[in-house]
Amino acid sequence: MNLQLLQTRLGYTFRDIGLLQQALTHRSHSSLHNERLEFLGDSILNCVVASILYERFAALDEGDLSRLRANLVKQQTLFEIAQKLNLSQFLRLGEGELKSGGFRRPSILADTLEALLGAIFLDSGFDSARDAIRAFYIPLLDSVDPGTLGKDAKTLLQEFLQAKRIPLPTYNVIATHGAAHSQEFEVECLVPKLNVQVFGRGGSRRAAEQAAAQLALAAAQQALTRAPGARKGKPRAAQLKLAGIGTNQSDADAGQADAPAQSK
């Protein structure tokens, strides 16, 4: 395991390499794991992201800033940052987690990233942790539209359709793929009035719905911006597919939202 490579990607070199190793250690591997570091890193992450947003978006009020921060520190965003670091190749997992594909699991990768931030803080203080976080998030914020305020794709689609007085979309699980521990859901999103039919995929039903909603929003916007008087033919649904990445939900949420569907 080339820890120097990871440190280069983080833009930080540890004085105490043991802290780095602990941050990469899942509880399935040993008793000296990263959960306490994760707790610490989560708090620092929220503080720094709040500070960045406060500086960057002077016109936003407290509620809007809170929604935007929640979007930036959620598991999916952390998972995407962890993927850019190729963090999965550095994880220390127990045999069971290795066999079940734990190195790909969004929750494990997101938690490990937070643990790394906690480890940086303990290794050399708040300023170093802040610098690492800013390096991750400034590029993301350069592409953020504060008008969406961190709303998810399903919410944005619903608001768009309501503004146009178009009935709300329907979502249907049409298939599941893979073994029980690593299922991928395929969800159909329909907006009949606009002849929109799209498909999204994800590691949970919720993630697949979000992926489908993102495509449906783009298709709906395109349908409503076509030039008036364009030649009308037989309605043809937009057949699009997107491979989404699932996120773990709370236990209460997961039991309802991610109930397995029968493969077709």
- Give the rounded distance of the alpha carbon of 243 from its chain centre: 13
Same domain for 39 and 133:
yes
Residue 113 lies in a domain: yes
Look up residue 27 and give its two tokens: 């509880």
Residue 148 belongs to some domain of the structure? no
pTM: 0.66
Q: What is the mean pLDDT of the chain?
A: 84
- Distance from C-alpha of 69 to C-alpha of 45, rounded to nearest angstrom: 10
State the pLDDT at residue 118. Answer: 98
- Is a pLDDT exceeding 80 seen at residue 144? no
Residues annotated as catalytic are 42, 114
- Write the single-letter amino acid at 235: P
Neighbours of 160 (CB within 10 A): 16
* pLDDT band, residue 147 (cuts 50/70/90): low
| Least reliable range by pLDDT among 9-18, 179-188, 223-232, 253-262 | 253-262
CATH number where 125 lies: 1.10.1520.10
Q: What is the rounded CA–CA span in Å between residue 117 and residue 107? A: 16
Assign residue 221 the CATH number of its domain. Answer: 3.30.160.20
Q: Do 35 and 124 reside in the same domain of the chain?
A: yes
263 located within any domain: no
Q: How far is CA 119 from CA 36, 74, 129, 244, in A?
A: 10, 20, 9, 30
**Which domain-ending residue is among 78, 112, 141?**
141
Distance CA 24, CA 111 (A): 10
Is residue 47 located within the same domain as residue 23? Answer: yes
Lowest mean pLDDT among 63-72, 93-102, 117-126, 200-209: 93-102
pLDDT at position 96 over 90: no
Average pLDDT of span 84-113: 89
Q: How many domains does the chain have?
A: 2
On the question of pLDDT at 249 being above 70, the answer is no
Q: Which two tokens stand for residue 67?
A: 């929604």
Is residue 214 in some structural domain? yes
> What is the predicted pLDDT for the residue at 60?
87
Instruction: Tell me the C-alpha distance between 126 and 13, whole Å.
Output: 15
Mean pLDDT of 101-130: 94
CA distance 163 to 153: 15
What backbone phi and psi angles, to 5 degrees, belong to 58? -65, -20
Q: How confident is the model at residue 150 (pLDDT cuts 50, 70, 90)?
A: low
Q: Binning pLDDT at 50, 70 and 90, where does residue 237 land?
A: very low
